[in-house]
Chain A
Amino acid sequence: MGISLHHISKSFKSVTALKDISFDVKSGELFGLIGPDGAGKTTLFRVLTTLLLADEGTASVAGMDVVTDYKAIRNSVGYMPGRFSLYHDLTVEENLNFFATIFNTTLEENYDLIKEIYVQIEPFKNRRAGKLSGGMKQKLALCCALIHKPKVLFLDEPTTGVDPVSRKEFWEMLKRLQQKDITMLVSTAYMDEASLCDRVALIQDGTILEIDTPQRIIEKFPRTIYNVKASETYRLLKDLEKYEATHSVYPFGEFLHFTSKDAAFTSEELIQFLEQEHHTEIEVSEAIPTIEDSFMTLSKEHSNNGN
């Protein structure tokens, strides 16, 4: 009864935005749609919120078909588009009241649902929305999307352009909302946010690369990752790119993440190679894979498979 998609495809002129997408979101689940800009996330949201018609395939939200029952869906879902669509010339309170009225409800009626979020922006309730900081706008937009107690909540890139502190707080809010039995589909370009979802779909170029729990996606990572560090990072990167045993090497925080083509590869071989290249202060250790490692591997495989 959450969300379900069967073989959804959508093209705009020459661009294929979605290619044969199928997945289900269970009722009450916090589901993440993880992928970079241009992956097709927003198109997928618009198909599900009945704003766009898919070229092929069927989809349903809370048991209602997105084409035939579109009016019913519009009455019962909450949607927070990217760029926090608020009226910048209205105050915080006026924005909330407006969205409450068009959904035939009032701020008071569903106050307990948004209380926790609203108290944080309440001190600014007479400020125009355009004058709020990014984090505040994001919270206000969430309140507006929640005001009619939707069964399903669509959040399109709610954390884009928001600093890490506000992002963290935002996800804590979503976790608490989940306990109130709201199904949530959240998209993000920040890979590190994947671990906060129950399940995620990794999406790139309109194709789903993988769907699973974040934990299992990480467990499925096929190779050993080594954290590598040396005094000259750029030269280290260039040398490893030329190294014949290298499968992939990417900067990852203070380290480089290195994987080898050879399953029997050991860290000693790597250290030996680096010493031979006159690197100093060499550090090599095994690293725990992240969603980002998986994403990069999957997306590389995907583009090698003739894309």
Chain B
Amino acid sequence: MKRFRGFVIKEFYHIFRDKRTLIILFGMPVVQILLFGFAVTNEISNVDIAVLDRSKDSETQKIINTIEASKYFKVTDFIVDEKQIETIFKKGKVKAVLVFENNFSKDIVAKNMANVQIITDATEPNVANSVNTYLTSILQQYQTDLNQRQQIPYQIVPQTRMYYNPELKSVFMFVPGIMTVILMLVSAIMTSISITREKELGTMEILLVSPLKPYQVIVGKVFPYVFLAISNAIIILMLGFFVFKMPIEGSYFLLALETVLFIFSALALGILISTISETQQTAMMASLMGLMLPTILLSGFIFPISSMPLPLQVISNIIPAKWFIILIKGILLKGVGLEVLWKETLVLVAMIVAFIGLSVMKYKTRLE
């Protein structure tokens, strides 16, 4: 035990001596959460738009007024010709043009149906998408109001089936994602690098030729990173909770348990990588390509798994991050417990056992 303690103390020295890495490890989650929370949101405000009004009647004027009244849009230009649309986009003055067809009011009264066109500048796809969604929803809102006074419902086309939630905050979706990425980084990449560093330095030779048992070396190397990962998880959750008022609906205990499970699965992966890499560089590349990219791309953090091609959906099942994101979203946002999440929890446990089993098989008590 004394040997083991000495070993762990040494590991902490390594970590705290390397100030730069330490700053990155603790600064990164903060910066990422704040970045995603404030800057990279799908929300829009005060977007300039133009209107091409061919009817110029009372209904179109009311719609324009409603749009102006919202905090999302500002109608800055009125154009008279379709040809102007391209010019105005090219100048980058507006993000969208709203086009009312001829006889808008008449059509709505006579045919119960009128056409409106939303043309967006898609050079920034995300903005265009949001603008589209927001405009349609305003139109829909207007239509609903209108119909309250009507027996036969009026229809303003395009109809939208999109569901809009004005309170939707994208940061709630990002907190679980970022937590997953950071924990994967600290646990898997840092451990695999720290183990291969000893191989590169040649100190692994001395450790092997010492009474330390191989499992003591591995557990000793991994131990400090459990602490680092847990403190990172706490920082991220606190930021989400205090800065962005993210709800934690479910049980704190379950949240802690699942987080530790995920950390263990990532550590097991880190150990596995270090048993097959000889240099820090290989370990780094293997972790980045083999762990980080799938964690970011295939876990459902950024791209919804349901919209992936089938082969990728299948692959996503072997990524621990996918299960962890389901678990943590369930606990944080929906407040569900083990009675719903038992399956995902079991998957994580099975993965830990498998990865550790593989590492033990691969581990060498000698150099080759």
Chains A and B touch (C-beta atoms under 8 A apart): yes
Instruction: Identify the A interface with B (CB < 8 A).
Output: 46, 49-53, 70-71, 73-75, 77, 79, 81-83, 85-90, 94, 97-104, 128, 144-145
B: which residues have CB within 8 A of A? 2-3, 5-7, 9-10, 13-14, 17-18, 201-203, 205-212, 365-368
User: Which B residues lie within 8 Å of A90 (CB)?
Assistant: 10, 13-14, 17
Assuming the contacts A85-B202, A87-B203, A97-B6, asked whether A50 and B209 have C-beta atoms less than 8 A apart, the reply is yes
Q: Which residues of B lie under 8 Å from residue A70 when comparing CB positions?
A: 365
A-B contact count (CB 8 A): 85
Which residue of B2, B6, B13, B209 contacts A74 across the interface (Cβ within 8 Å)?
B209
25 CB contacts below 8 A, A to B, read A46-B367, A51-B367, A53-B366, A70-B365, A71-B211, A73-B209, A74-B211, A79-B209, A82-B202, A83-B202, A85-B203, A87-B13, A87-B201, A87-B203, A88-B201, A89-B17, A90-B14, A94-B10, A98-B7, A98-B9, A101-B3, A101-B6, A101-B7, A102-B3, A102-B207
* A128–B6 CA distance with the chains assembled, in angstroms: 18
Residue pair B210, A74 in contact (C-beta under 8 Å): yes
Shortest distance between the CB of A93 and any CB in chain B (Å): 11
Closest to B210 in A: A102
**A103-B14 in contact (CB<8A):** no
Judging by beta carbons under 8 Å apart, are A101 and B2 in contact?
yes
The CB with the most chain B CB atoms within 10 A, among A77, A87, A88, A144, is that of A87
Q: Select one of A81, A89, A144 contacting B13, CB under 8 A.
A: A89
> Which partner residue on chain A sits nearest B18 by CB separation?
A89
Give Cα distance in the complex from A295 to B10, angstroms.
44
Question: In the complex, A73→B9 CA distance in Å?
Answer: 26
Taking a contact as CB atoms closer than 8 A, the residue among B7, B205, B211, B365 that contacts A81 in the complex is B205
A103, B13: Cβ atoms under 8 Å? no
12 more contacts with CB within 8 A, not counting A49-B209, A94-B13, are A50-B208, A51-B366, A74-B210, A74-B211, A85-B203, A85-B206, A87-B13, A87-B201, A90-B17, A94-B10, A100-B6, A101-B3
Give the distance in Å from the alpha carbon of A50 to the alpha carbon of B214 in the complex.
14
A85 touching B366 by the CB < 8 A rule?
A: no
